[in-house]
Amino acid sequence: MKNPFDLKGQVALITGSSRGIGRSIAEIMAGLGAKVVVSSRKADACEAVAAAIRKDGGDAHVIPCNIGRREEVEGLVKGTIDKYGRIDALVCNAAVNPYYGPLAGISDDQFDKIMATNIKSNLWLANLVIPGMADRGGGTVTIISSIGGIRGSNILGAYGISKAADFALARALAVEWGPKNIRVNCIAPGLVKTDFAKALWEDEANLKKRLVTTPLRRIGEPDDIGGIAAFLAAPAGAFITGQVIVADGGVTIGS
C-alpha cells in the first residue's frame, strides 16, 4: 500500500515559515518528501530554516516576502514557480496582530493592517496559485487560522474577526475550485507556544487559567499543528475540503 502521508513530488509554499508553526510545517513537509519554499520578511531567518532542512536531507529554497505587499506576493509565487516549476501545496500561515484591547480602541490603520494581512493576502495568494494547480489536475490550500475565529475576546477582537473571515474564505474557495480537484481547508490552533503568542503564554496567571480549562492540560507546540498541515496536503486528506480543523487541546469543548 502506498504511504498515504507521502509528499514526494510535491512543491509546498509556506508563508511565515521562519519560526513557530510555519517552521514546523516546512520541516515536517520536507521530511515527508516535499520540496519547500521557506518565506517570511527576513531572509536570514529563512535561510537558517532552509539550512536545517537541507542538513536533514530535504530540499528547501528561500524567498523573502512581506505578504502585506501585493508586488512581493506576486514575486513570491513567481519565484517559487521559476525555481520548482509548480506549486502543489500552498500554506497561508503568516499573520499579524498589532493591537491588543477592546474594539472601541482600535485605530483604522491597525484594523486595516490586520484585515489586509490576515485575509486579503490569503486571497491574493490563492488567486495567484490555484489556477496553475487546476491546470495540472489539483492541489491544496491550507490557511492557518485560529480558535479566535470561533470564540469572542475582549482583547483580540479584530484578530478574531480576521480569523473567522478565513473560515469563510476557505469555504468559498473550496466550493469554487472543488470541481478542479482543489482542496481548501483551515486549521484553527488554540494557544501554541510560539513567539507570536508569547504575550499570552508568558503571563503565568493567564496560562494557569488556560491549563485548568483545557482537557489536555497543556498548550500546544508548533509540531502539533505542523503535522495537520502535512496531512491535509497528503493523499490521506484527499476527501477533506472546506473544513476547519480545530487543534486546541480541547479548550473549546472544555468547561
CA distances from 38 to 72, 90, 170, 243 (A): 14, 11, 22, 25
**DSSP-based helix, strand, coil % in the chain, nearest 5:** 50, 15, 35
Q: Where are the beta strands (DSSP E) in the chain?
A: 11-15, 35-39, 59-62, 89-92, 139-144, 182-189, 244-247
Question: How far, in Å, CA of 138 to CA of 60, rounded?
Answer: 22
164 is written with which cell numbers? Answer: 473567522
Is residue 84 part of the annotated active site? The answer reads no
CB atoms within 10 A of CB 104: 6
Query: What count of other Cβ atoms lies within 10 Å of the Cβ of residue 213?
Result: 13
**For the residues of 156-198, what is the DSSP string, one character each?**
BHHHHHHHHHHHHHHHHHHHHHGGGTEEEEEEEE-SBSSSTTH
DSSP SS3 for 218: coil
Q: Are strands 89-92 and 244-247 parallel, antiparallel or unpaired?
A: unpaired
Q: What positions carry a catalytic annotation? A: 159
